[in-house]
Structure 1
Amino acid sequence: MPPRGAWMNDPVLHLLPGTRDVELPEPLRYVDRRGQLHEVPAKARSDGMTSTAWSWSFIGCPLTPDYRRPCFLHDFYVVTRSVPPAYAHQLLRETLEEAREGRLWRARIWLFWALTRLFGPRW
């Protein structure tokens, strides 16, 4: 099995008044299984739409603690389009699979990823 990726930090997200958007107060850094650093810069914003809003009631909101770092990284790549969509979705699945070691159920992770892959943004 390939080595696990690692989050370098876990910044607190700031909710922006009058919106459902959140902003990073500091960069978010992740080193993937291949040793590549992924960095979301400070002041990056997300609306939590990694997964479709209608699916939140049964898989959870992307901004809950279990999902927030993987989803923020995915949302950043959706907005910047700096990597191909397949790579962004694969990275989302990788980071969610690693979160499974904590509190997430395997079926829930797979469903979250599959719904994002099927109904999420494309570029």
Structure 2
Amino acid sequence: MSKSIKKPYFIGQVDTHWLENEPKRMRLSADFSFVDVNNVKWTAPAGCVIDGASIPRFFWYLIGSPFNGHYRRASVIHDVYCLTQTRPHKQVHRMFYDAIRADGVGKVKAKAMYLALKIGGPRWKNHPKRRMGI
């Protein structure tokens, strides 16, 4: 009997509004989730503040700006878990890779973005550090 492979998927839509005094940050108006291949649900709850993908400006031509591209939805979930640190950073960065692949980012580009996270992305030792509802 063969084991079926589960496909990762998103739940809901990214619903945000810009913060008045912070032009590059948004607040989530509704919960938004990603379910990975291991059936682990990653949720960005309503009320969390996000700032888009943290892509250095000189890579925008190759990858895209923080609010464009097939990695936008993954960046919302990634932002929240980097802020809350409620799961180990290696799992959070791997979730980002799986989520951008599920959203249509090609394998080569996804691996390059994942490698950039592994090298220069945020790291933390202990979790949880912060509450989800920030």
How far the C-alpha of 1:109 sits from its partner, in A, is 1.9
Q: Residues 18 and 44 of structure 1: is their aligned pair in 2 closer, same or farther, counting only changes over 3 Å?
A: same
Is the CA contact (8 Å cut-off) linking 2:53 and 2:67 kept in structure 1? no
Normalised by the length of structure 2, the TM-score is 0.78
* 1:42-81 → structure 2 map (5 Å cutoff): 42-81=46-85
Greater fraction strand: 2
Q: How many residues align?
A: 120
Greater fraction helix: 1
Q: Residues 5 and 97 of structure 1: is their aligned pair in 2 closer, same or farther, counting only changes over 3 Å?
A: same
How far the C-alpha of 1:54 sits from its partner, in A, is 4.0
| Unmatched tracts of structure 1, length 5 or more | none
Superposition CA RMSD, Å? 1.9
3-state SS of paired residue (2:42):
strand
Is the CA contact (8 Å cut-off) linking 1:89 and 1:117 kept in structure 2? yes
Superposed CA offset, 1:88-123 (max 9, x none): 0110111111122xxx33322222222122111111
Give the aligned partner of residue 128 of structure 2. none
Distance 1:54 1:10 in 2: 29
Normalised by the length of structure 1, the TM-score is 0.84
Match status 1:29 vs 2:33: yes
